[in-house]
Chain A
Amino acid sequence: MTLTPAELTSAVSGGIGTSPQRPDGNLKVRGEFAYASDLWHEDMIWGATLRSPHPYARITSVDITEALKVPGVYAVLTHLDVPGRNLYGLEHKDQPVLAVDVVRYQGEPIALVGADHPETARRAMKKIVVTYDVLEPVVDMETAVDDTPLHPGGNLVRHVPIRRGSRDVTADVVVTGRYEVGMQDQAFLGPESGLAVPAGDGSVDLYIATQWLHVDRSQVAAALGLPEEKVRLTLSGVGGAFGGREDLSMQVHACLLALHTGKPVKMVYNREESFYGHVHRHPAVLYYEHGADHTGKLVYVRTKMYLDGGAYASSTPAVVANAATLGVGPYEVDNVTVDAYGVYTNNPPCGAMRGFGAVQAGFAYESQMDKLAEALGMSPVDVRVRNAMTEGSVMPTGQVVDSAAPVAQLLKLVQDKPLPAGTSTDIRELPGGVSNTTHGEGVVRGVGYAVGIKNICFSEGYDDYSTARVRVSMVNGELAAAVHTAACEVGQGLVTIMQQIVRTELGIERVTVLPMDTTIGNGGSTSASRQTYVTGGAVKAACALVREKLAGRTDIGDEVIDETTEWRHRATEAIDPETGQGNAHVQYGFAAHRAVVDVDVELGLVRVVALDCAQDVGRALNPQAVVGQIQGGSAQGLGLAVMEEIQTSGGKVRNPSFTDYLIPTVLDMPPMSIDVLELADPHAPYGIRGVGEPPTISSTPAIVAAIRAATGLALTRVPVRPEHLTGT
């Protein structure tokens, strides 16, 4: 039986500011780390999900009779078998566990099969007969609000207006633009998976890859009609997340099958199902107008933006708020008008992905800054530095930025880095690579810059906290510590950080990380670049309680010191619904990129030659992991710039596979030189600033700016495709 995640005790030492090896590293390189899809239980069966082929349809009948007759099938379930609330959702409970009489997106779950082999389950699913009355889907985010209402309250999920300064100002130079961002997928490598094990008393244990155990549990328990204590969740190995595991996927489904059959049930999505099984990054259409005086100083920014939330709300309200409040970028602007709209359509549901609303706005406002530079005859860096936010600057929400905001410094750092040598003569380093499409003819080089801003931690008055327990006892004559949280390790290295904090706070080298589960209080979500800040803060606080009881002793005999505490960051406020004013965010993170590209203008192929980044992280608790986050985030930004898009047509996904949805390979990625600034934030534990998201914001616009510089094309949409470059 492979079920319980290993306790992680690393043999290496190292407190904060060093880069000790990950405690799960050896298991991972040996192939022995138990991911959710590796779980196995005696007597387990396999679950599978029947999904809608239509983006919008009325279900007229569901007949499971023949499916139940397939040998090896244990159960076939529909919405009639959901004992509790058949609706869930992170912010609005609007999404059915299993569809009732309507499906609102292609891939919406309708029925479940439990069988002795995955192939048996697939064959049985084909015998479920569903009849549909197919309806015309709503697919245009700009007109969705006035189209067929898909939910009782209509198709507007949230409108966030921001009004600051005057709307009656004029400027010497005005640039306008309409920008589009395609639908990006998190494309984490470990597919959605889990194992539900029924206990005899009607309760259930779920071993699961997720980003937030406690919010999963509350949603699962509600759907099962069980009190929360009867649903126990344990984090299994998570193969990446990037926002795509914030919403439920197979959690309720596996538990339903397990409770109905009395058997352990394993569910593992394949890659195609994974594309249907989680939310994506909101595609967006953004209209901007920037006005500046002749010195380049911004006078006003006006923007109207649409974010397509797809069929269900997921985290759309928060994504819209981010796009709006961060909508002018890391610049000082006195007069701001923002209207951001999140809408329902019959496109795939969209929610959290690394950068969370700030990415879409970032591509547009940085494109505008380049346009402004060109109109003014200034350099792209100069126009940004002219307007760069600093500590003490005021956000469009009226919030004062009260810690370091080294925007100009970050830009200068990347500007001053050495440029790569000229276009290579080695075909492996040219656009097209060993496809041998060019030996340099038709290849032009360009350089582009961008800088971005991201809020760190949860915003708008949310009570954002984490819980940590630290236990100290004697092991082999020495003090040893164990740390327990429900904060999800998804690959980012929280397990290492927690060990480092305990070592630094208690001076104890041997630190075991206990499996993350719901037997301890809420750890909050692994999102918003918040876990080192909030769970790190909780571990630090629990260590302080332990330290008091230790009172300097190095031998505590048989005593066990066991302290649990909650820790929350300083409070934020809701924003005013009419003006968008309020201290909405805890902390801001900044990163800047310089991209160098070679473009084959005849074939429309792009090779990113260099992608350098400078970012302020407040304090690097683990420098190696910090650089790893920045490089990984930059790579996802490169993907959005030139490769990655879930293409839809009439609400249907056209490319749900890694054959057709391309993410960067090692051949697509350039060398990335990273400068890390450590300007401590006095409000944060150790002065840290969240790291994961800011690099994903500035990477994309820097690359597109470089392609514009190479080609002279306007390029208002990402990802940039070959046909955008060749005009064919």
Chain B
Amino acid sequence: MRVNLTVNGEQRQADDVWEGESLLYVLRERLGLPGSKNACEQGECGSCTVYLDDVPVCACLVAAGQAQDREVRTVEGLAEGDRLDPVQEAFVEAGAVQCGFCTPGLVVAAHDLLERVPQPSDPEIREALAGNLCRCTGYEKILDAVRLAAARR
């Protein structure tokens, strides 16, 4: 089948999509956007978090066809040219990035949190990021990054 959708502000089209393919597969393998990661492909790890019409979702749990005529924003769409989004900048500065495989999903989730709650408390940050697994950091520096990004808003 053919899927038409808007990704990071651009109209995109994917052809020969098998009905069982996920939005994640289409983004990664058909549209050249591998930033969203494939760590569990069953909605447990959050590494594939993207905005679908401004709501964060696990792209692995969205069938490609469900994205027809909708707007998707991925981690690749957060920076403006060379200028990183403040959340991205804070992740690098705070040491929240080690292997970085969880980072794209966490950056999108943290970005969404700060859009909704500009000055979150620690329990609010923890609750908002609870669907994103990180195996390297123990999360302390991820919390630092979100606090830093919030302080700079």
Contact = CB atoms under 8 A, between A and B. Distances in A.
Interface of A: 2, 19, 21-22, 24-26, 28-35, 37-38, 40, 117, 119, 186-191, 237-242, 268, 270-271, 426, 428-429, 434, 490-493, 624-625, 627-628, 631-636, 657-659, 663-667, 669, 671-672
Given A189-B39, A666-B126, A635 B139 contact: yes
B9 interface: no
Interface in B108-129: 123, 125-127, 129
A388 B101 CA distance: 40
Given A428-B123, A631-B138, A634-B138, A28 B103 contact: yes
A117 B37 CA distance: 19
Contacts of B141: 624, 627-628, 631
A238 B123 CA distance: 31
A665 B130 contact: yes
A624 B148 CA distance: 15
B34 A2 contact: yes
A657 B40 contact: yes
Contacts of B37: 35, 37, 189-190, 239
A701 to B, nearest CB: 17
A491 B99 contact: yes
A489 to B, nearest CB: 9
B99 A240 contact: yes
Contacts of A240: 98-99, 101, 135-136
B140 A239 contact: no
B79 A30 contact: yes
Given A189-B47, A672-B140, A31 B40 contact: no
A38 B34 contact: yes
Given A28-B100, A30-B79, A666-B129, A188 B135 contact: yes
B52 interface: no
Given A239-B100, A631-B140, A31 B126 contact: no
Given A428-B126, A666-B142, A22 B92 contact: yes
Contact of B38 (A191, A241, A636, A669): A191
Q: On chain B, which size bracket covers the interface?
A: 35 or more
A24 B100 contact: yes
Given A31-B35, A239-B99, A633-B138, 5 more contacts: A28-B97, A491-B136, A628-B98, A628-B141, A631-B140
24 contacts: A25-B91, A25-B100, A29-B75, A29-B107, A30-B79, A31-B34, A31-B74, A31-B76, A32-B35, A40-B34, A189-B133, A189-B135, A271-B40, A428-B127, A491-B100, A625-B95, A628-B98, A631-B138, A631-B139, A634-B138, A659-B44, A665-B133, A667-B126, A672-B140
B99 A490 contact: yes
Nearest to B21: A119
Contact of B138 (A189, A268, A635): A635
B103 A663 contact: no
B65 interface: no
A40 B33 CA distance: 11
A242 B44 contact: no
**Interface core residue of B40, B91, B104 (most chain A CB under 10 Å):** B40
Contacts of A664: 138-139
A270 B42 CA distance: 10
Interface of B: 18, 20, 28-29, 32-42, 44-45, 47, 74-76, 78-79, 84, 88-89, 91-93, 95, 97-104, 107, 123, 125-127, 129-143
The 3 A-B residue pairs with the shortest CB-CB distance in the complex, in nearest-first order: A31-B35, A491-B99, A239-B101
Contacts of B79: 30
A35 B35 CA distance: 9
A492 B98 contact: yes
Contacts of A29: 75, 84, 88-89, 91-92, 97, 100, 103-104, 107
Contacts of A30: 35, 75-76, 78-79, 84, 88
A188 B140 CA distance: 18
B76 A189 contact: no
Contacts of A37: 34, 37-38
Contacts of A663: 133, 135
B138 A190 contact: no
Contacts of B33: 31
A40 B138 CA distance: 31
Contact of B101 (A26, A35, A242): A35
Contacts of A241: 99
B34 A657 contact: no
A445 to B, nearest CB: 19
Nearest to A424: B123
A657 B35 CA distance: 22
A186 B136 CA distance: 10
Nearest to A434: B127
A249 to B, nearest CB: 16
Contacts of B93: 21
Nearest to B77: A31
B123 A25 contact: no
A669 to B, nearest CB: 5
Nearest to B93: A21
A119 B18 contact: yes
A37 B99 CA distance: 14
Contacts of B97: 22, 25, 28-29
A492 B99 CA distance: 7
A492 B139 CA distance: 15
Contacts of B104: 29, 31
Contacts of B125: 666
A240 to B, nearest CB: 4
Nearest to B145: A29
